[in-house]
Amino acid sequence: MTIKSRAPVRVDFAGAWTDVPYFSDAFSGATCNAAIKLYVRGELDAHEENQAPVEELTAIAGQEGELGGDAGLSVQYESRIPAGSGLGTSATLNVVWLSLVRREPVASVEDKMKIAALAYDIEKVLGIIGGKQDQYASAVGGINLFEFGHEVKRVPVEMKEQNIEELQRRLVLCYTGKPRLSSNIHKNVWGNFRAGNEQTT
Q: Which amino acid would we find at residue 77?
A: Y
Q: According to the model, what pLDDT value does residue 49 have?
A: 57
Whether 99 maps to a domain, the answer reads yes
Whether 79 maps to a domain, the answer reads no
pTM of the model: 0.83
Whether 151 maps to a domain, the answer reads yes
Whether 57 maps to a domain, the answer reads no
Q: According to the model, what pLDDT value does residue 54 have?
A: 39
Q: How many domains does the chain have?
A: 1
Neighbouring-strand partners of residue 72: 47
- Which structural domain, as residue segments, surrounds residue 103? 8-37+84-172+180-194
Whether 132 maps to a domain, the answer reads yes
Whether 65 maps to a domain, the answer reads no
| Ranges of the chain whose pLDDT falls below 70 | 48-71
- CATH number of residue 128's parent domain: 3.30.230.10
Q: How many Cβ atoms from other residues are within 10 Å of residue 93's Cβ?
A: 23
Q: According to the model, what pLDDT value does residue 63 have?
A: 28
Q: According to the model, what pLDDT value does residue 102 have?
A: 86
Please give the Cα distance from 196 to 201 (Å, whole number).
Answer: 7
Strands (DSSP E) along 52-95, which ranges? 72-79
Whether 19 maps to a domain, the answer reads yes
According to DSSP, residue 80 is labeled S
